């Protein structure tokens, strides 16, 4: 009986340490402004502009308190779908809220482009909102594959 208890205890300890390590390994870090700077080198749309924190609430409904860091670079012409939004939430629930807003934004872009900008809509259909820990991103660009690689590589 004593031996069984010891084995169970050892297993529990192993499980505890393993889960601790696993949690540590999923913790992500990235400097989003640096990630965006790297992405800008690959984006072919020359009519893009940066958004500032004051633009987040009116444009996306994202509250400052939910954002630990962000970078936003969007088309300025009104005729292209390019929109690169990178966020790190201040916590899991904050990241949930940011993700919800980016899902809404993605859907709104679908509604606006479907019949109006078919080429841009085709690009949009290949892109998606991505969630990784507290990081949430929406990368819409004809260069989305390259930009996603930059983003994924940066999240370590």
Partner 1 sequence: MKLRHLAVSILISVGLLAGCRGAGGMVPAGFNLLSASAVPAMESTGYFPSYSSCPQTETASKATSRIPGTAWKSASSAVSAAAYVPPLLHCAGQSAEVSPSFLDHAVFVGDSVTLKLKNYVTKQRKTEPGFFGTAAFLAAGGMGSGNALKPLGKDSIHPSYNGEKKLLEDSAAAMGAKKVYLMLGINDIAPYGVKGAAQNLEKLSLRFCTKIPGVKIYIQSATPMLADKQKKTLSNQNLERYNKLVSEFCEKDGWYFVDVASAMRDGTGALKREYCSDPNDLGLHFTDTACKVWIHYILTHTGG
116 binding partner 1? (CB under 8 A): yes
Nearer to partner 1, 101 or 147 (CB): 101
96 binding partner 1? (CB under 8 A): no
Within 8 A by CB and 6+ apart from 82, the residues are 43, 45, 48, 74, 75, 140, 141, 142
Distance, CA of 40 to CA of 31 (rounded, Å): 15
107 binding partner 1? (CB under 8 A): yes
* Smallest gap from residue 87 Cβ to partner 1 (A): 14
49 binding partner 1? (CB under 8 A): yes
Residues 133 and 26 sit within 8 Å (Cβ to Cβ) = yes
Distance, CA of 77 to CA of 116 (rounded, Å): 15
51 binding partner 1? (CB under 8 A): yes
How many residues interact with partner 1 (rule CB under 8 A)?
27
78 binding partner 1? (CB under 8 A): yes
Nearest to 89 by CA among 137, 36, 154: 137
Residues at the contact surface with partner 1, assessed by CB under 8 A = 47, 49-52, 55, 57-58, 60-62, 74-79, 101, 104, 107-108, 111-113, 115-117
């Amino acid at each position: 009986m004593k031996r069984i208890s010891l084995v169970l205890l050892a297993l529990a300890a192993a499980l505890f340490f393993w889960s601790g390590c696993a949690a540590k390994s999923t913790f992500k870090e990235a400097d989003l402004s640096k990630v965006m700077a790297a992405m800008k080198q690959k984006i072919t749309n020359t009519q893009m502009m940066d958004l500032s924190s004051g633009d987040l609430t009116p444009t996306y409904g994202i509250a400052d308190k939910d954002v630990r860091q962000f970078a936003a670079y969007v088309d300025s012409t009104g005729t292209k779908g390019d929109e690169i939004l990178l966020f790190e939430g201040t916590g899991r629930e904050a990241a949930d809220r940011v993700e919800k807003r980016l899902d809404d934004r993605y859907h709104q872009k679908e509604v606006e482009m479907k019949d109006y900008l078919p080429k841009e809509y085709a690009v949009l259909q290949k892109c998606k909102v991505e969630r990784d820990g507290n990081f949430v991103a929406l990368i819409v660009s004809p260069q989305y594959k390259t930009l996603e690689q930059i983003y994924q590589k940066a999240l370590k």
